[in-house]
Amino acid sequence: MTDQRPDIRSLSQEDLLAHFIATGQPKYRARQVWEWIWQKGAGDFADMSNLPAALRGQLSEAFTLHKMRVADEQVSADGTVKCAFQADPGRVVEGVLIPTDSRMTACISSQVGCSLSCKFCATGRLKMMRNLTAGEIVDQVEYLRGLAQSKYNIPLSNIVYMGMGEPLLNYKQVLQSTGRITSPEGLGMSPQRITVSTAGIAKMIVKLGDDQVKFNLALSLHAANDEKRSRIMEINESNNLDSLAQALRYFHQKTGTRITFEYIIFDAFNDTIKDAQELAVFAKNVPVKINIIEYNPIDNGEYRQARPERVNAFAALLESRNLIVNIRRSRGKDIDAACGQLANKNKAAMYGMEMK
């Protein structure tokens, strides 16, 4: 029989307060419970030690409190840690802790599977199964934040929504999760430490502008002409570069935030000087910084890593146009934790994930 109790983590602060008022409890109890859920990471009502036992019992009768558990954990030779979080029986999402000299970053997922079919991405081969809830997204951050402290004794500094799924197709839960992460009653992190990455959903980028979000936005671009981009990213057929340019200009006008372009560079596909010139022209639409990312091979993939001399020449052209450019070296490749590799090498079958 299906459990009919709602998940308490799906309630807003106002909803939670209304519940306590309706059940004759003092208002401050709502604040206490909220802090247990979102600040202290309680996994059970029994953990809420400053609540009366009777109230804890009432809450467990009225609500569920289900946190994702870690089903598997792998550590790379470079210190990167990949965690498989159990979302449903037989289904997982992956989150990655990425340590570098300057930052400690959590890369988190927003969906179980993915509805997009980007040809260079292992996750894109999975079926879209469901959206993650805000609580499940926060679960990943909480666990990876604790891991950063316990394993490296370094606080988590950055969060990137660049794991499995398309965040802007889970808009409500993603925004709720950033709210929980940045709230003083939650994890208290600065929104400027959060980056949400999208494959390019123009109308949702506009909505981000209307909502005047405070976090950073990254666009997975990978080609600056429609013919090439459509070959590797089906989403470009319904969200072409012109529509994206308009949406990005609107977003920047509303938020004032500099946008990041993510550009995976492939051998003999998008690594020429002409490709760099096209990118330089597109980058003039809004203030941007450009991350050139080395390609990470996936099983039976048709693309290869670009040669270092081509990458350097590509970056040099962009820099000659006064653009901010970073060449990103991938981490965690030996455990399939690098960009585009999540659910690679038959891990999907191991975890019960369905393929397209």
CA dist., res. 356 & res. 354, Å (int): 7
- Does the active-site annotation cover 94? yes
Indicate the pairing of strand 104-107 with strand 91-99.
Answer: antiparallel
Q: Which is catalytic among the residues 83, 94, 121, 136?
A: 94
CB 100 within 8 A of CB 107: no
The token pair at 115 is: 């509805």
- Does the active-site annotation cover 114? no
Q: Which is catalytic among the residues 83, 107, 118, 339?
A: 339
267 three-state secondary structure: coil
106 three-state secondary structure: strand
Question: Which residues neighbour 20 within 8 Å (Cβ) at sequence distance 6 or greater?
Answer: 26, 27, 29, 30, 33
Containing 174, the helix (H) or strand (E) segment is helix 171-182
Q: In what order do the strands lie in the sheet with 259-265?
A: 69-75, 81-88, 91-99, 104-107, 158-161, 194-198, 216-220, 259-265, 288-294, 324-328
Q: Catalytic amino acids?
A: 94, 339
